[in-house]
Structure 1
Amino acid sequence: MWTLLVDGWSGSLLTGLWLIRLWRLQLRRFLILNLISMVIPIVVGWHAQHVVQVNERAIAQAGNQVQTWELLVLPDQVVNTKTSMHGSGQLESHQRVSFHGQPLTNQGERLHHCVRLRVQGSLTPNQPASNWAAFDSQSFARGHGLSGDLRITKVAVVQQVRPPTIAAWFHEWRARELRRTNQLPPQLRVYVQSLLFGVRTADFQATSTGFKRLNLIHLFSIAGLHVYVLLNLWFFVATMVRMRKSHAELGAMLLLPLYAGVAGGAIGLVRVILVVEQRYWAKLGKWSRSGLDYWAFALMIFVVVNPWLIGQLGFQLSFLLSFTIFYCQKTTNVLKTVMLNLVSLPLLLAYFFEWHWLSIIANLVVVPFFTVGIFPLIISNYLCYLIFKVPIWGTEPLLRWLTQVTDQVASLPGVLPFGQPPWFLVLLLVGTTLLLIENWTWKRLGWLLVLYGVSFLIIHYPLNGEVSFFDVGQGDSILVREPLNRTVTLIDTGGKPNFFARQGQPTVHLAPTMTIPYLKSQGISRIDNLCLSHQDADHIGDLTCFLKTMEVKRVLIPWGMDRNQHFMHKIRPELHNTQLIGVKAGQIVPGTHLQILHPYHPGLGENQDSMVLWGQMGGKTWLFTGDLPKAEERELLQHDPQLRANVLKLGHHGSKTASDDRFIAKLAPQVGIISAGRQNRYGHPNQETLVTMKRHHVRLISTQTAGMIRYRYGWFEFRPKFETKWKDTQHGSEPSN
């Protein structure tokens, strides 16, 4: 089921081979059971997909109009801060949606209970990721049963209501306990809220950086080890009070589902509880079942209840690792940890694109320490705080020390920028690793190493090149990559308009979620040329982020921009081994076919000083003009009357200050690329520009309606064409392949 949903053709191929294998082995009964076990989830999954699509179409028909909505909100599903309010709730139509808007200041305390909000706002469907390799919020929302996103402009009524169900009462209790834990010291609070209640706060994201890089984040995911620690604690207490074993087991059967609700229903937690519950029920009924049967039935329950979870990494890792444990039952704990790391590696590469070789050593050391020491200590602190109102002395320094050590180890050299293997290779890598675990031979190890080698070569030495326009909202960022990754050039970085914020103000970077994941997925850790068209923050606001996280050989800026002291003050501390080069018309971008056509005179990096690049790639000629105004466009034609381009990146995001009529007529582009933010306050692209493009028969593709735009060319691209992340119905661009 997972292979069919995640990667259709390879999943269908592997499923077909598996069924043919069963038929050839004449395992007819097992074959029928396999078919039934596949048909039921597929039918249920199709029905769930149909329901979600109907709900999303209904939301889309609302047309993003401001309306009045009734919203039932549970107290542990809303976050109300000084600057914003966000969470999830249920509409009168019983659809669950996420929401965000202005904070409640005078009635915020009511959010500690179940409330019914009457709000004004616009409801839109959840959008898929607009860039390849970026986090897919639509898939995440579907996995959590959310049909849309409500942008609240005004809260008219806040009405406290009694919990409508027993489950809602548990949500109130959970919210009350979370408020109680807010009084704990910072590090202890993060550990208690994440481990016991399954809450991921902003403090958790800041604290867990080292754990993420070392692949230790599963320790915070309410995994099986937490359940067994709690069970051991329960049976210890039952023994102390002389409770009969059968009664203690019955109590565990009743308490475990309640804890699943208290902990937020994390996938790993629910999976373990389902397995444990099956064991207890089988013991009561005197049935004989294997652990693998319990695992398979838990998988079926998940798929039937919520098929959308299949596409989430947490689901995939939880069931894959628990399945692997059956192969490692007779091995030592050290070898088991190594095997679990090996079998999870293909999935981690598929989602995170890199691997730290110290992660295996870190798991060997930290997992036992966490199981035996940290988790019992966290439970003891929580109970101690409930009874005595103070945590255990020494816990906070210990947790700070643990965080500092993991951060320091994670910062050591050893990160392998592998890239994202194709899904069919991910499946082959997982299968080959399982075969190696089942029966270790040099031949199987050799095949595994060959598969990793092939994956690495495919990613790092691609036979195709590309010109890609990232969707960075209101801004520009363009990747020009030659076949075999001979040179990698990035034109502008995108960014929010806070690059020149005052000292002390936080800078918000878009690159870590929009552009850098795609570069890492392509195995790119080095940028040969980072060309900055001019100084505006929507073009270079994320420059320092690239300089900090990637190897950048050269930063090219327009002639004279190094005299801009404010710009130099921002980037000088981050340059290190990066060359800063001022360029002017007549030069070539080092190692590429990109020619610099502008500027002709030194400037400070204003719009009129924009760096203009022209090049020939993939059988087409390309022109990138930054925010060059109309007067400078006409000046380009005066210097080069023969200038032509098949593809034009429209200047200034389609503003009427660029795309001069005579310039477009002389240039004669076939395709125009617009990089602008959706519903931006500037009204880009301007209607005057659109009329000009239509008059000259220029086919437009916009990141507003198409998301990321990519043109691939090379030895195996027989008919290179533009592909877009979304289907651009407005401008008629090609859908994503």
Structure 2
Amino acid sequence: MTVNRELLFIEPDEYTINGDLLKFTGQRVSNKQKILGYYRIRSEQEKAALQGIQHPLTVQVAGKVGPINAPTNQNEFNFQRYMLGKNISNEIQVTQLRSAASPPKLGLLRQFLAIFHVIRKKMIDHFERMPQPLGWFIQVLLIGYQSEQFQEQMDQINRLGLLYLFTLSGMHVFYLVAMIRFLLRQVGTTKETTDLLLLGILPIYGIIGGSSLGLVRSILMTWLHLASQRFGQWHLTGIETWSLVLLMNLFYSPVAVFSLGAQLSYLLTLILILSRQKKQWLTGLQMGAFTIPLVLRQTFVWNIWTIPLSILIGPIFDWLIFPVVIVGMIFVPFQLVCNGVLKILAAFFSWSSDLPGTIIFGKPPAIFILFWLGLLLACQVKPKKLLLLSCLLLSGVCAYGWIHLPLNDEVTYFDIGQGDCSLIKTRFDRQVYLIDTGGKLSFNTEKWQVRNSRTNGETVVVNYLHSQGISRIDRLYLTHQDTDHVGNFPSISQSINVKQIIVPVGMEQLASFQRRLQLSRVKPSAVVAVTNQVHETVPSLALQILHPFERGQGKNEDSLVLLYRSGKTNFLFTGDLDRANELKVLEKYPNLRADIMKTGHHGSKTASDPKFIQQVQPKLAIISAGRNNRYGHPNEETLVTLRKYRVPFLLTARDGMIKVILSKQGPPKLTTYGQMNIY
């Protein structure tokens, strides 16, 4: 990254504040390019001032500019590609932000468009002050804005496989057009005049509605259809309009079609076009079926209630959700009633999402997705539906087996930032072990600074486990008490069944550990404290415990040291063990050797004693550390030691996730995901 000074133009509806983080999309005044910006707010007063802004800003900023990072863990959400779909490829980490002393004059078009961005911002703030969840539903459905507080409800809807409820924006445009036609008809406006008004109103609504890809797709289809009816010699059919808009999308932003929202929007609109003569329940069934392959590819999870709810959701949306939202928005006396109805609906979604029936399927290969979509499309036109459905079921079973029955052992080191987290899973996923969970340190955070966000234990670790079809951890080894090793275990346990936790003896009594245990879904009886003399309640441990030798307090010097053997390959995990205790381990186990060793304490000079490295003789060292971390890890002294004994090393901050696949037929295969290099 390079340090730049930039003059940026920011619309009032193109920024969000989460705790002490300001995130915005701005346009460079110099070259009109869009850029993603982040700024850490310095005071509560500054935060209040930023929240009150309701007009466009031209700001002078200073900060580091660079490309948006690609994902560094396998199957991690590709934020870089998502932003490329919005034609944004660079970001700026802002260190200074102030209003421009002499902002340049805006062109007439920009001034005209700014009016509608101001209207949208005022609507966002107004709906935020309404009774909730009514205001949040209005924000999502009508102006394409999702409040942070609405995330829980959206997560529940997503778990039920009903993503398209808010991504298929054509429903909103359909209702808007129908409502405008009805109102204008009541005052005697002709159909021709109404169509002309709609041609002007729809682009404006596209801006106020947030300009999401799904909304723009729907508006363009409606606009082209109306224009061809009014002015064209050739009246476009639904499928012709759909195809033309798709081509326009591919020309303007081809990367956007990789997003799940775009895929659902285009695919389900196509199903609606093809199913116009069919009953609503059958259309709902088809839409639910078509979402499954795309949802599995992106989220790796399927809920058995998706299909029955897909049949119900059409009438629920038509006759309940949208009318209640419109009435609650327009008629203030009815807001409390409408809010109560939506509370009941939200409770129904919450209850439904907690029902048993979630299947951790895993990420199917792309060839299966294409095959399934082809079979479903064939069912639309072919008479032999039973044969096609049988092929669909059989291929689904094959894909499930392909994911859930891997033929090799695997050891994976996550890029978890400044922390540690490693995964061991054996052939056919018979045993799954996690060593530490990562976790983010917080330094004297005040209430106004707290951000609502998911932990990287969820976005990285749980996401990867689900992509591999894994729904449980047989044993979670927590090497010691530090937050960057154990902080994520409560959030991970909310989505993954943790059967047993292994900790160094003494750590189980710490107040910090007990607080985390209460926040998790792990029963206290599942916690086992151990020394190198393995507790008899932990039979047949696949990982040999080499340290600690006695009771401690869960500090660095008490870290678990673990040795895992797979075939002829030995893996050593040392937590944050210090040099003095590394030498004690050598005294206890003079023949200790490791092919792959995770260096202690993130490559700090307090670990990786030269004598320890010399005797263990690793063929490869793994260093888990965060990018640009405040501790300077890995320390140069440790790197000098590794070079002295000719130990090559990989660094998660540079190389991303590191995966080792172990095969009985050949040497281990090692893959890194920072640059997607294969060694």
> TM-score, normalised on structure 1?
0.85
Aligned match of 1:477 = 421
Look up the equivalent residue of 1:648 and give its one-letter code: M
Aligned match of 1:633 = 582
Look up the equivalent residue of 1:313 and give its one-letter code: L
Look up the equivalent residue of 1:493 and give its one-letter code: T
Look up the equivalent residue of 2:246 and give its one-letter code: L
Distance 1:584 1:499 in 2: 32
Look up the equivalent residue of 1:186 and give its one-letter code: Q
Look up the equivalent residue of 2:2 and give its one-letter code: N
Change (3 A) 1:425 1:401: same
Aligned match of 2:407 = 463
Matched, 1:686 2:653: no
Aligned match of 2:99 = 157
Distance 1:554 1:125 in 2: 41
Distance 1:435 1:665 in 2: 64
| C-alpha contact 1:468 1:478 (8 A) present in aligned 2 | yes
Matched, 1:337 2:284: yes
| C-alpha contact 1:534 1:610 (8 A) present in aligned 2 | yes
Give, in angstroms, the shift of residue 288 of structure 1. Answer: 4.5
Aligned match of 1:384 = 331
Distance 2:469 2:408 in 1: 14
Give, in angstroms, the shift of residue 502 of structure 1. Answer: 12
Aligned match of 1:491 = 435
Give, in angstroms, the shift of residue 582 of structure 1. Answer: 1.7
Matched, 1:724 2:672: yes
| C-alpha contact 1:198 1:222 (8 A) present in aligned 2 | no
Q: 1:270 aligns with which of 203, 216, 221?
A: 216
Distance 2:159 2:241 in 1: 32
Aligned match of 1:190 = 136
Aligned match of 1:60 = none
| C-alpha contact 1:673 1:700 (8 A) present in aligned 2 | yes
Higher mean C-alpha deviation, range 225-234 or range 327-336? 327-336
Higher mean C-alpha deviation, range 485-494 or range 90-99? 90-99
Change (3 A) 1:321 1:714: farther
Distance 1:466 1:343 in 2: 33
Q: 1:317 aligns with which of 247, 261, 264?
A: 264
Distance 1:736 1:314 in 2: 31
| 1:437-457, Cα deviation, whole Å (9 max, x unpaired) | 332522111110111001100
SS of match in other structure, 2:35: strand
| C-alpha contact 2:225 2:235 (8 A) present in aligned 1 | no
Aligned match of 1:97 = 35
Look up the equivalent residue of 1:150 and give its one-letter code: I
| 1:132-175, Cα deviation, whole Å (9 max, x unpaired) | 12211111111112222211112243457765413233222222
Give, in angstroms, the shift of residue 546 of structure 1. Answer: 2.6
| C-alpha contact 2:284 2:312 (8 A) present in aligned 1 | no
| C-alpha contact 1:676 1:704 (8 A) present in aligned 2 | yes
Look up the equivalent residue of 2:404 and give its one-letter code: H
1:275-290 → structure 2 map (5 Å cutoff): 275-284=221-230, 285-290=232-237
Higher mean C-alpha deviation, range 163-172 or range 181-190? 163-172
Give, in angstroms, the shift of residue 471 of structure 1. Answer: 0.9
Give, in angstroms, the shift of residue 704 of structure 1. Answer: 0.4
Distance 1:82 1:488 in 2: 36
Q: 2:573 aligns with which of 618, 624, 632?
A: 624
Distance 1:566 1:90 in 2: 45
Aligned match of 2:342 = 399
Matched, 1:69 2:6: yes
Name stretches of at least 5 consecutive residues in structure 1 with no aligned partner: 1-62, 728-733
Percent identity between the aligned chains? 32
| C-alpha contact 1:499 1:537 (8 A) present in aligned 2 | no
1:696-715 → structure 2 map (5 Å cutoff): 696-714=645-663
Distance 1:118 1:511 in 2: 36
1:510-521 → structure 2 map (5 Å cutoff): 510-521=456-467
Change (3 A) 1:346 1:562: same
Aligned length: 663
CA RMSD between the two structures: 2.5
Name stretches of at least 5 consecutive residues in structure 2 with no aligned partner: none
Distance 2:455 2:237 in 1: 50
Distance 1:198 1:308 in 2: 21
Give, in angstroms, the shift of residue 600 of structure 1. Answer: 1.0
| C-alpha contact 1:618 1:720 (8 A) present in aligned 2 | no
SS of match in other structure, 1:412: coil
Distance 1:618 1:433 in 2: 44
| C-alpha contact 2:27 2:34 (8 A) present in aligned 1 | yes
Look up the equivalent residue of 2:9 and give its one-letter code: L
| C-alpha contact 1:114 1:163 (8 A) present in aligned 2 | no
Look up the equivalent residue of 2:362 and give its one-letter code: G
| 1:83-131, Cα deviation, whole Å (9 max, x unpaired) | 3322110122322111121334585378321211112211121001121
Change (3 A) 1:393 1:540: closer
| C-alpha contact 2:73 2:674 (8 A) present in aligned 1 | no
SS of match in other structure, 1:632: helix
| C-alpha contact 1:481 1:488 (8 A) present in aligned 2 | yes
Distance 1:641 1:713 in 2: 26
1:388-427 → structure 2 map (5 Å cutoff): 392-427=335-370
Matched, 1:669 2:669: no
Aligned match of 1:43 = none
> TM-score, normalised on structure 2?
0.92
Distance 2:277 2:562 in 1: 62
Distance 2:471 2:27 in 1: 43
Higher mean C-alpha deviation, range 341-350 or range 546-555? 546-555
Matched, 1:148 2:90: yes
Change (3 A) 1:694 1:419: same
